[in-house]
């Protein structure tokens, strides 16, 4: 069973990922890294497993968000190309 402070970090990571608040997640990551480096806090196996699971879930959420954004950008590019082709075809028709 992870320590209460580790559980709080895990819940905060999960909450930020669920809200798609990547800035908050980045800030939490930096604070957690600093805390671990400065305090010399050692994590036991349960703590590491809990944090690892929280990070994996956040990475999966951000990966899904990135995939969705990439698909939207590709679609927007295709629509733009279609509009440009239509405009060019319309110009040819008028000539």
* Domain edges within the chain: 4-67
pTM of the shown model: 0.67
CB atoms within 10 A of CB 68: 10
Measure the CA–CA gap between 67 and 29, rounded to whole angstroms: 22
Chain centroid, CA 70 distance in Å: 13
Instruction: For residue range 72-82, list pLDDT tens digits in order.
Output: 888 888 887 77
Helix, strand or coil, per DSSP, at residue 2: coil
Task: Please tell me the predicted confidence (pLDDT) of residue 46.
Answer: 92
Helix, strand or coil, per DSSP, at residue 41: coil
Instruction: For residue range 16-68, list pLDDT tens digits in order.
Output: 999 999 999 999 999 988 888 887 778 899 998 999 999 999 999 988 888 87
Task: Please tell me the predicted confidence (pLDDT) of residue 50.
Answer: 93
């Amino acid at each position: 069973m992870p320590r209460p402070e580790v559980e709080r970090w895990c819940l905060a990571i999960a909450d930020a990922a669920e809200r798609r608040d990547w800035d908050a997640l980045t800030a939490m990551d930096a604070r957690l890294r600093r805390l671990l480096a400065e305090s010399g806090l050692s994590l036991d196996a349960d703590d590491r497993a809990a944090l690892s699971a929280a990070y994996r879930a956040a990475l999966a959420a951000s990966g899904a968000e990135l995939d969705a954004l990439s698909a939207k950008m590709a679609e927007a590019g295709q629509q733009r190309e279609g509009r440009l082709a239509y405009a060019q075809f319309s110009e040819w028709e008028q000539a």
